[in-house]
């Protein structure tokens, strides 16, 4: 295509609204424009990238035996009420009424709609397994959309749903999708890592997230230095302490700790290690309050706590609630004499002796408090975030933390939706059985953003070949007839050889074209100008690495074909 005829509004200055690399470059390279917070138009160049990623997804989903369909964006409240997610989903679900005052929402995900389809249309186990997918616009009214396509409110998602007769079959379907995702992200040129994940609002039993490792990632990934264990921090299991504290129990003593509230202040004041302090945090979930005991150098993992309590979320109690439950202001809560609430504790608290705890009295702590002797704990559980250097809970090695962008997630749902919506099928004995489901999502725009996060330099984007908007950026750097004629001859030759070519035929100066080309990041740049033609050559620059070579025009196509073998895995 000719650049003079495409809307590619590149920007010379960084737009003020963008901070992260991918957001900035997507705006500067003319891929997207914002319409409202978290809502974007995909410009021609951006859409080509999106379509490339979608195509890879389609090919791999089809190869995995999934079938494509397309569900509506708007869905009626009735379906969501069947699963109770009409209430559960909260403000993220964008609701509206039609002209008859009937409730609708914009689909943030499509378990309800697909399960409804399934229960109406599928009767027999003979039709299973089934896997449906769509690539479609989703809407989630996020609390804080940010970073361009990374966390939008409206975004393109590939979602797939599998239906099996039994657990074993569902596991095969799950693994099948796991493998397809691995192929998809590999083909997109991403460095990623599948990690064990929490299931959140979608629900279910088993889940993995596909994380692209990048500093700007919003998720924290935990992985073992030597073993294969990897998990989202929300999920990562902490090992119980291995060494038991064998110290003799010392007598409990109350000490004054005026104005010392935080772990730092109290431990500094009492000159003890933060490992010798046990903090008492009060949490609320719905109507219930619980106290959580955690070692001073650890952090509570609220996802783990919520799962233990079997609720969707927990929040730290506000100061008034703390005052009411403990009789003291925040900073001095402790387990000794604490009434009215259940006391839960992280496993790391179980074996330590002679600890510092709050005294439930302003400006006072206890020293040498001991579990069993001075207070009791209803249940010990894994309730903390793992830390770098902790031993891996499975396999060898210690844990390392890194930031990651979640580009895909797979869930084994079990019967969560089929049960609520009564999606049954007849088995060999003619008995009705609930379908076992799985669901599988990929953020298409986020995948593009993640690719930029991983592949860029200070000049601009460096697209991996398979998802680049074009393969070859043809730059004519003179306006002479000779140059134009050469380009006009090479352009169709390249296209006939299977290259997608963007020809910068604009009457701008060379510098402008070079800078735009580097910004846009098409893998191969071909420079045609009078200087080169006088020597009988055109120039090739590989965007990644910047390697330049000079080549006779009639050898260009063959040479690029050879280069493509190196850069495009799909032609290997």
Partner RNA sequence: CGGGGCGUAGCGCAGCCCGGUAGCGCGCCUGCUUUGGGAGCAGGAUGUCGGAGGUUCAAAUCCUCUCGCCCCGACCA
Enumerate binding residues for RNA (CB under 7 A): 10-20, 23, 34, 36-38, 143-147, 261-264, 266, 279-283, 294, 296, 298-300, 302, 315-319, 322, 330-333, 358, 459, 477-479, 509-512, 514-516, 518-519, 527-533, 539, 541
Q: CB of 518: closest distance to RNA in angstroms? A: 4
- Tell the residue number behind the tokens 């119980």, with chain if given: 240
Q: Do residues 147 and 187 make contact, with C-beta atoms less than 8 angstroms apart?
A: no
Question: What count of other Cβ atoms lies within 10 Å of the Cβ of residue 33?
Answer: 15
- Residue 269: C-alpha distances to residues 50, 200, 256, 363, 372 (Å): 57, 40, 10, 12, 26
CB of 385 vs RNA, minimal distance in Å: 8
Closest approach, Cβ 543 to RNA, in A, equals 10
Nearer to RNA, 178 or 380 (CB): 380
Shortest reach from residue 267's CB to RNA, in Å: 9
In the complex, minimum distance from the CB of residue 292 to RNA, in angstroms, rounded to a whole number? 9
Smaller CB distance to RNA: residue 20 or 131?
A: 20
Closest distance between RNA and the C-beta of residue 362, in Å?
10
Q: Length of the chain in residues, anyone? A: 572
Nearer to RNA, 37 or 70 (CB): 37
Query: Which residue's entry shows tokens 């009420």?
Result: 81
Distance of alpha carbon 201 from alpha carbon 312, whole angstroms: 7
Cβ proximity to RNA: between 153 and 416 the closer is 153
The burial class, CB within 10 Å (0-12 / 13-18 / 19+), for 229 is: buried
Cα angle 431, 436, 440 (rounded to 5 degrees) comes to 155
Q: Is residue 193 within 8 Å of residue 213, measured between CB atoms?
A: yes
Q: How many CB atoms lie within 10 A of CB 555?
A: 12
Helical residues (DSSP H) of 122-166, grouped into ranges: none
CB-wise, 358 or 438, nearer to RNA? 358
What pairing do the DSSP bridges indicate for beta strands 472-476 and 524-528?
parallel
What is the spatial distance between Cα 235 and Cα 221, in angstroms, rounded to a whole number?
10
Please report how close the Cβ of residue 180 comes to RNA at its closest, in angstroms: 32
Local structure of 210: helix, strand or coil: strand
Which residue number, 111 or 141, has a Cβ lying nearer to RNA? Answer: 141
Q: What does 52-90 look like in DSSP terms, one character per residue?
A: HHHHHHHHHHHHTT-EE----SEEEHHHHHHTTHHHHTG
Tokens linked to 572: 């290997």
- Smaller CB distance to RNA: residue 124 or 273? 273
Q: Evaluate whether 463 touches 49 at the Cβ level (below 8 Å).
A: yes
Residue closer to RNA (CB basis): 23 or 567: 23
In the complex, least distance from residue 3 CB atom to RNA, rounded to whole angstroms: 12
The smaller minimum CB distance to RNA, of residues 9 and 498, is found at 9
**Least distance (Å) between residue 506 CB and RNA:** 9
Q: Which is nearer to RNA, 130 or 405 (CB)?
A: 405
Quote the least distance from Cβ 333 to RNA, whole Å. 5
Q: Contact 453/20 with Cβ under 8 angstroms? A: yes
Determine the Cα angle at 310 with ends 307 and 315, to 5°.
70
Residue among 261 and 394 whose Cβ is closer to RNA: 261
In the complex with RNA, which residue's Cβ is closer, 147 or 411? Answer: 147
Question: Nearest distance from residue 452's CB to RNA, in Å?
Answer: 15
Residue in 238, 328, 345 with CA at minimum distance from that of residue 290: 345
Report the relative pairing of strands 253-256 and 364-369 from DSSP bridges: antiparallel
Kindly state the greatest CA–CA separation across the chain.
Answer: 96
- Six-digit token string for 403: 């930031």
Find the shortest distance in angstroms from Cβ 325 to RNA: 9
Cite the DSSP H helix spans in 434-572: 444-454, 481-496, 510-520, 530-534, 556-567
């Amino acid at each position: 295509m000719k650049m003079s005829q495409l809307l590619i509004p590149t920007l010379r200055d960084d737009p003020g609204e963008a901070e992260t690399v991918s957001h900035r470059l997507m705006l500067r390279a003319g891929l997207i424009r914002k319409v409202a917070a978290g809502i974007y138009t995909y410009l021609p160049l951006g859409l080509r990238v999106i379509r490339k990623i979608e195509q890879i997804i389609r090919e791999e989903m089809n190869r995995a035996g999934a079938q494509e369909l397309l569900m509506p964006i708007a869905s009626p409240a009735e379906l969501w009420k069947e699963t109770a997610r009409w209430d559960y989903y909260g403000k993220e679900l964008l609701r509206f009424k039609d002209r008859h005052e009937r409730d609708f929402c914009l689909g943030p995900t499509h378990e309800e709609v697909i399960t409804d389809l399934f229960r109406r249309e599928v009767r027999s186990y003979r039709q299973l397994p089934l896997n449906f997918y769509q690539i479609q616009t989703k809407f989630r009214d996020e609390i804080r959309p940010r970073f361009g396509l990374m966390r939008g409110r409206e975004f393109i998602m590939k979602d797939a749903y599998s239906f099996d007769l039994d657990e074993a079959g569902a596991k095969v379907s799950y693994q099948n999708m796991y493998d397809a995702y691995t192929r998809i992200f590999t083909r997109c040129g991403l460095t990623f890592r599948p990690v064990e994940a929490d299931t959140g609002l979608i629900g279910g039993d088993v889940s993995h997230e596909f994380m692209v490792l990048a500093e700007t990632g919003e998720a924290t990934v935990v992985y073992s230095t030597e073993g294969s264990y990897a998990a989202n921090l929300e999920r990562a299991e902490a090992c119980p302490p291995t060494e038991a504290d064998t110290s003799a129990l010392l007598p409990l003593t109350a000490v004054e700790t005026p104005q010392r509230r935080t772990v730092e202040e109290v431990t500094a004041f009492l000159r003890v290690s933060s490992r010798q302090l046990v903090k008492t945090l009060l949490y609320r979930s719905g109507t219930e309050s619980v106290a959580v005991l955690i070692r001073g150098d650890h952090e509570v993992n609220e996802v783990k706590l919520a799962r233990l309590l079997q609720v969707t979320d927990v929040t730290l109690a506000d100061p008034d609630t703390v005052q009411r439950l403990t009789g003291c202001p925040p900073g001095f809560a402790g387990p000794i004499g604490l009434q009215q609430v259940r006391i839960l504790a992280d496993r790391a608290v179980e074996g330590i002796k002679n600890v510092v705890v709050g005294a439930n009295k302003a400006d006072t702590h206890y020293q040498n408090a001991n579990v069993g002797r001075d207070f009791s704990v209803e249940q010990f559980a894994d309730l903390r975030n793992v830390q770098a250097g902790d031993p891996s809970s499975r396999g060898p090695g210690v844990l390392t933390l890194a930031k990651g962008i979640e580009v895909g997630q797979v869930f084994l749902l079990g019967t969560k939706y089929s049960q609520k919506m009564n999606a049954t099928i007849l088995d060999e004995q003619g008995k009705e059985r609930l379908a076992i489901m799985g669901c599988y999502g990929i953020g298409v725009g986020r995948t593009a953003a993640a690719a930029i996060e991983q592949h860029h330099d200070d000049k601009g984007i460096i697209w991996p070949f398979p998802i680049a908007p074009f393969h070859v950026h043809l730059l004519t750097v003179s306006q002479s007839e000779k140059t134009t004629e050469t380009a006009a001859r090479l352009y169709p030759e390249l296209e006939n050889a299977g290259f997608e070519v963007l020809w910068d035929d604009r009457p701008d100066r060379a510098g402008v074209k070079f800078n735009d080309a580097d910004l846009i990041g098409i893998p191969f740049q071909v420079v045609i100008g009078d200087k080169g033609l006088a020597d009988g050559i055109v120039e090739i620059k590989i965007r990644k690495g910047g390697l330049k070579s000079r080549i006779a025009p009639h050898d260009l196509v063959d040479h690029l074909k050879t280069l493509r073998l190196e850069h495009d895995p799909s032609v290997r």
